[in-house]
Amino acid sequence: MEFKNLKLSKKTTFIIWVGIIAFVIAAPTILPVFRLNLLGRYLSLAIVALGVDLIWGFTGLLSLGQGIFFALGGYCAAMYLQITSSSEFPNNIPEFFGLYGVDNLPFFWEPFRSPIFTLFAIWVIPALVAGMLGFLVFRNRIKGVYFSILTQAALLVFFNFFNGQQKLINGTNGLKTDVTELFGQMVGSEQMQRMFFWTTAVLVIAAWFFSKWLVKGRFGNILIGIRDDEPRVRFTGYNPVLFKTIIFSIAGALAGISGALYTVQSGIVSPQFMTVPFSIEMVIWVAVGGRGTLLGAILGAVFINYAKSLVSEALPASWMFIQGGLFILVVTALPEGVLGWIQGEGPRNLLQRFGLKRKIETYPSLEINNEAEDLKK
Amino acid sequence: MKKKSKSLLSLENITVSFEGFLALNDLNLSLKKGELRAVIGPNGAGKTTFLDVITGKVKPNKGNVFFKGKSLIGRKEHKIARLGVGRKFQSPRVFENLTVKENLEISVSSPKSPLNLINKNIKTEQIEEIDHLMKIVNLSNKKNAKAGSLSHGQKQWLEIAMLVGQKPDLMLVDEPVAGLTDEETDLTADLLKSLSGDNTVVVIDHDMEFIRRLDSNVSVLNQGTVLCEGTMDTIQNDKKVIDVYLGRPEE
């Protein structure tokens, strides 16, 4: 579960980082526009996966409703873009309002005229919603599978609500962003997409360091304590409700940022972000990458999604089977996920099985005793 | 309710019923500050429920618990812990995925608010405290080992160290010597004896030799009430106690 067995020397770490930075800078020139856009989208999904890892991998809260916070972030970003690009439309409000006979911007969208407000709203609003939802649930000591079901139910509530609100958020059609303008350029344009790719890459790294910092010290240890034995944490004088609420809000904030970045790179936000399978997929990325490893969440999100697009191009409709198989494989064979397996005893066990590495003798004395027992007979 | 003088902890007419089964039945018990008290009783006598009531895990149907003059009824577990009630569980409950040092950090850290833990580093005197605790329970060389890799006895001791590190005024120790070797049992008895005086300690156990070694007052629980109280010698000659507890060979 930790980085204990994967100690890299300073030099290797440095070279890896130089490699990552060089790739991020060069990616727009190496990769075709289409691939770059996909990579940017998948990198933004890595941020929501980091949040899932924090609440599930470290704190043991299996949320199946992260799509709520992801979509909220996306809607905040998309609405800002629509509002600022609506000067040619009637009443200077986004075009879709006209279709439903709305003449004035709904009051709660007013603050979204401000870019600074929007930049905060993208992560603060999901964090607040997550915090409120979390506090109520955690205070009533709802845990385990009940928590998962509750988050999924909340997801469905949000999904249905957003689907039905044509006059407020264009309902099931969602909000398009690719034909809006930011800094005088089309959001869907190649230059803007390149900027979004770089922003995403930087934010993934920032979110990773932030998460690492968060779980490194005593705070992270309490989270692990809550995951493994919550009553014990309570009897030691800590209030698990606070810790869980905080980490759930943080995961919500990360989901919001992730959703906003995903929206501007995919060109649309819609209630489809709040479907049940999508939120479950987020959990699968983390399970496959490695629960409680953080890096595993990032790699899981990027590689599974990349695999998904490659497989879907080659063999349409077969992805669901592969994804299901992958999940079953991880649950049965690699409960710690791929990264957890690599960092743990996995590779050693595999080499042993093929006779390439000697077994560690744990109790040599036991064997001697066995012989003694045999002699007695 | 008026506060009780002198006694640190007093349980008054505590009744706990689990769907009709009376786990505790009109239990009265009080402890003076600095006292070491052993609690014994046959299986199902309500020993663990007794601790659950004090620590807030179980809400009694009737009665009241006073600690330092304050009623504990209706307080959350972590609030009771912060008031100064520490508990060691029957089977060792340490955080297996954390190291010995990290386990002790959790117990020693104060204040126990999330912000304090995120913002600030652990204080120097707390690090010294942790080193001191590890020395007492002979775990200094296991500092960075995962608690899950410790032996049963070492886990018991780590949990006792965690309990002490919490600096509670009242320590509730549930079967501290279950599964320990004789030598470890003796060491544990000495450790607990050395803790009383400054701390008030309640020890629950089955092991008669261990209780004798504690050399303390003993309360015998049976069917949820206190059957008898006194020194070990008084207890062992009490007819009622012999009938329900000591006389039974299967215990």
Question: Left if phi > 0, otherwise alpha if psi is -120 to 50, otherwise beta: which for B215?
Answer: left
Check CB contact under 8 Å for B93 and A243.
no
The edge-to-edge listing of strands for the beta sheet with B225-230 is: B85-88, B170-174, B200-204, B36-40, B217-222, B225-230
Chain A positions contacting chain B at CB under 8 Å are 1, 214, 217-219, 221-222, 224-225, 228-229, 231-240, 242-243, 246
- The beta strand positions in chain B, using DSSP E, are 7-18, 21-32, 36-40, 62-67, 70-71, 85-88, 170-174, 200-204, 217-222, 225-230
pLDDT tens across A252-267, in order?
999 999 999 999 999 8
For residue B162, the distance in angstroms to the closest alpha carbon of chain A comes to: 9
A327-352 pLDDT, tens per residue? 888 888 888 888 888 887 777 777 77
Q: Please indicate whether, in this complex, the C-beta atoms of A229 and B55 are within 8 angstroms of each other.
A: no
CB contact under 8 Å between A242 and B114, yes or no, is: yes
* CA distances to A224, A229, B66, B133 from A235, in Å: 15, 10, 18, 19
pLDDT for the residue B1? 43
Any residues with CB less than 8 A from the CB of A112 and at least 6 apart, and which? A76, A79, A80, A83, A118, A121
Contact B183, B210 (CB under 8 A): no
Provide the whole-model pTM.
0.87
Cβ contacts of B81 on chain A, cutoff 8 Å: 234-237
Among B97, B122, B162, select the one facing A218 at the smallest CB separation.
B122
Q: Collect contacts of A103-107 with beta carbons under 8 A, ≥24 apart.
A: A106/A167, A106/A168
Place of tokens 């079967």: B175
B55/A214 CB distance under 8 A? no
Look up residue B237 and give its two tokens: 């000659």
| Residue A367 pLDDT | 45
Contact A235 B81 (CB under 8 A): yes
- Assembly ipTM: 0.86
3-state secondary structure string, A202-243?
Answer: HHHHHHHHHHHHHHHCHHHHHHHHHHHHHHHHHHCCCCHHHH
The pLDDT tens digits along chain B (251 residues) read 444 456 888 888 889 988 888 888 888 888 888 888 899 888 888 888 889 999 999 899 989 999 988 888 889 999 999 999 999 888 889 999 999 999 999 998 888 888 888 888 888 888 888 988 888 888 888 888 999 998 888 888 899 899 988 888 899 988 888 888 888 888 888 888 887 777 888 998 877 888 888 888 888 888 888 888 888 888 888 888 877 776 655 44
Q: Among A60-64, A137-141, B92-96, B181-185, which is the least confidently predicted range?
A: B181-185
What does the pLDDT read at residue A363? Answer: 52
Q: How confident is the model at residue A359, as a pLDDT?
A: 59
In this prediction, residue A4 carries a pLDDT of: 44
Backbone angles phi, psi at B63, to 5 degrees: 95, 180
CB-nearest partner of A236 from B102, B114, B166: B166
* Alpha carbons B57 and B41: distance in angstroms, whole number: 21
Q: State the nearest Cα–Cα gap between A208 and chain B, in angstroms.
A: 16
- State the pLDDT at residue A283: 93
Tokens 């942790």 belong to residue: B130
Please check whether residue A260 is in contact with residue A252, taking contact to mean a CB–CB distance below 8 angstroms: no
